[in-house]
Structure 1
Amino acid sequence: MLLVKNEFGQVLETKLAQDLSVLAIEHTVVKAKVSLYGGQVLSWHPDGEKEVFWLSKDSLFEQGKAIRGGIPLCWPWFGAHPNDNAHTAGNHGFARMQQWQVVSIDISEQGVEVTLSWQGEAMNELWPNACQLKQVLFFGRLFKQTLQMTNLGDADAYYTGALHSYFRVSAPAEIKIAALGQADYYDKLTEQLCKPQVFKNGVGPVDRIYHSNKDLSLVDYAWGRTLELKSQNTKQWVFWNPGVEAANKMADVHPNGEQEFVCLEAATTEMQLLPAGVSKTITQEISIVNHG
């Protein structure tokens, strides 16, 4: 179904699976895809560039299942909820498994801006508040994502969250993110807080929460490109690759898929206050530099 069209491009709504829809963006400078299930970016492919985000060929496009790849939204908690003693609430909250609505689509010469929203209440006993999420996505030569979180309830709430980007790479062994070597980090695999260490490569298993929100450069030597990342109002960068053994146990990661991506996530992993009636935003911006 055609939603918007002008001389610069068009946006179609098509089926991702039986009951899941995707926005297919076709523009003179970019192609992209966004799943309305989860409000999840699946693809950003500027003209003349390689695809930026990784999406598993075995991802489960089903209600109640998270989509493996793109940019899942981890909200209103990242990882396991700290008060989930029974381990029944699941990882990464509920936002990535909700149906989002299209608010607006604007096609300009520079690219396409899509605004999506979701609203709900009493989604989980650990987060009973009424809330609204709004996401503004810009696809062009530059990619920008802003998530606005609003507490619609009468009681204060607390959240953690992340923009869980899966970046497509030539190989984890071929990448470097030098600035991460300057930050303290928590190693989730050893459960230890570590002093800065030189960042060697992205080969898994690795799962680290870096205590820095500085701008980063994800250098891919084999592909000759650098992804420049900026974030606003987040406090950490999370770096993750499951490694071969763990990936082989994941039903939604295709064979050798872990050799095609690294996750670098703009995140806030410590509880933040979201007062009643208040909105807050987190943002990431990504650009591409080619080395020639």
Structure 2
Amino acid sequence: MDIIELVSEHGRARIARQGAQVLDAELGGVPLLWLSPLAAFEPGRAVRGGVPVCFPWFGKHPTGLPAHGFARNRDWTVLAQDDRQARFELCDDEAGRALWPHRFRAELTVALEDAALRIDFAVENRDDAPIEFTYALHSYFAVDDVRACRVEGLEGRLRREVGHVTMPQQGIVALAEPIDAVFEIAPEPLILVEGERRVLIEADGMRSAVVWNIGPDNAQADIGPHWPRYACVERGNIGAAAVHLAAGETHRAGMRLSRSRATRSDATRSIAPRSNGH
């Protein structure tokens, strides 16, 4: 698998040409993104961890096509790269149109900024008719123990889960229990907190958020016993935030990730877990 490495005085990141997927990253010597020790590096198979690109649909497809689209399993073209930035392109082809019959061009740029990792995503409609799609940057954050984590910024937003009644989020989102919660309309920024460590998740043009950890009972083969070491907090546009593009239009969005220590008020705030409907 072709891998590009970015390095700066602030951090490092590795990106696979397959899927234009950030595999792992660290900022200030501290891991930012999690890559499963059991991840499989096989052509056409998504790698577990980092930031897979779920496009042109997120989640299960109503007709049974592969979940999360095909972009994460395809080789992207490298348009440009240097020590701090890499830019990738994916265009429609015969194989892609067999799954999603539209002409498009997608571009993804990964950059090490000052003490931050930035991912910019754009999709151009090259069809003669409007298109609709959903997507997410499926970020796996490295944590010591997901059960001690919480996500701030989603209070009061409608939360949807399979088998649960959609209702407003009550307080912070605690990750003490397995979770697969979709917030189709979410604010920015969001903050992932574990003890005194924080990850600031800033989004531009991405209206949705997903919080996910599969837990011990349903851990997949490429996660296994390592499930406590990641917390997925994803940004994108899904469900009610699906993107509609007229012919010739381009959708542009971005996500910026940075780490910091909690403030004194954060450190003294109670983080007693909530049931969150589980």
1:66 equivalent in structure 2: 46
The yes-or-no answer on 1:288 pairing with 2:259 is yes
- Cα contact 1:219–1:225 (8 A) shared by 2: yes
Give a deviation string over 1:206-239, Cα, whole Å, max 9, x none.
1111231321111110xx2111111111221100
Q: Deviations over 1:252-273 (max 9, x none)?
A: 11x3211001100002112321
Question: Is 1:153–2:122 an aligned residue pair?
Answer: no
Give CA deviations for 1:133-183 in whole Å, capped at 9, x if unaligned.
111111141111111111222222110010100011111121122322332
Shift of 1:27: 2.8
CA–CA separation in structure 1 for the residues paired with 2:90 and 2:146: 34
2:246 corresponds in structure 1 to 275
Asked whether the 8 Å contact 1:204–1:240 carries over to 2, the reply is no
Output one character per residue of 1:237-257: Cα deviation in whole Å (capped at 9) or x when no partner: 10001011110xx1211x321
CA deviation after TM superposition for structure 1 residue 95, in Å:
0.5
Q: Deviations over 1:16-43 (max 9, x none)?
A: xxxx110122333322100111100012
What is the SS of the residue equivalent to 1:77?
coil
Match of 1:263 among 222, 226, 232: 232
Contact 2:153–2:187 under 8 Å retained in 1: no
Q: What letter is aligned with 1:78?
A: F
Alignment: residue pair count: 258
Q: State whether residues 24 and 49 of structure 2, in contact with CA within 8 Å, keep that contact through their aligned partners in structure 1.
A: no
In 1: Cα distance, 2:70 partner to 2:97 partner: 8
- Residue-by-residue CA offset, 1:49-80 (whole Å, 9 max, x unaligned): x1110111111211221111000001000002
Determine if contact 1:75/1:162 at 8 Å carries over to the other structure: yes
String of CA shifts for 1:96-127, please: whole Å, max 9, x gaps.
011112111244xxxx1211111123414452
Structure 2 CA distance for partners of 1:29 and 1:234, relative to 1, 3 Å: closer
Give the SS at the match of 1:146: strand
Segment drifting more, 174-183 vs 129-138: 174-183
The equivalent of 1:118 in structure 2 is 90
User: Residue 186 of structure 2 contacts residue 207 of structure 2 at CA under 8 Å; is this kept in 1?
Assistant: yes
| Cα distance between partner residues in 1 of 2:173 and 2:105 | 40
Give distance in 2, aligned partners of 1:236 and 1:245. Answer: 27
Asked if structure 2 preserves the Cα contact closer than 8 Å seen for 1:35 and 1:42, the reply is yes
Structure 2 counterparts to residues 69-108 of structure 1, below 5 A: 69-82=49-62, 84=63, 87=64, 89-107=65-83
Aligned to 1:37: 18
Could you tell me which residue of structure 2 aligns to residue 196 of structure 1? Answer: 169
Letter of the aligned partner of 1:75 in structure 2?
A: F
Q: Which has the higher strand share?
A: 1
AA aligned opposite 1:274: L
SS in 2 for 1:243: coil
Match of 1:231 in 2: 203
In 1, distance between residues paired with 2:188 and 2:157? 10
Secondary structure of the residue that 1:177 maps to in structure 2? Answer: strand
% identical equivalent positions: 26
CA distance in 1, matches of 2:129, 2:100: 11
**8 Å CA contact 2:143, 2:231 repeated in 1:** yes
Partner residue of 2:217? Answer: 245
Q: Secondary structure at the match of 2:155?
A: helix
**TM-score, length of structure 1 as denominator length:** 0.83
Give the Cα separation in 2 of the matches to 1:35 and 1:93: 17
The 2-side partners of 1:139 and 1:58 are apart by 26
Structure 2: 5+ residue runs without aligned partners?
Answer: 264-278
| Of 212, 225, 230, the match for 2:186 | 212
Pick the aligned partner of 2:158 from 174, 184, 192.
Answer: 184
- Contact 2:97/2:103 (<8 A) preserved: no
Work out whether 1:173 is the aligned partner of 2:163.
no
Q: Which letter does structure 1 place at the counterpart of 2:236?
A: A
User: Under a length normalisation based on structure 2, what TM-score does the superposition of the two structures give?
Assistant: 0.87
- Aligned-residue RMSD, C-alpha: 1.7
Q: Does 1 or 2 have the higher relative contact order (CA < 8 Å, sep 6+)?
A: 2
Letter in 1 for 2:221: A
Q: Which residue pairs with 1:13 in the alignment?
A: none
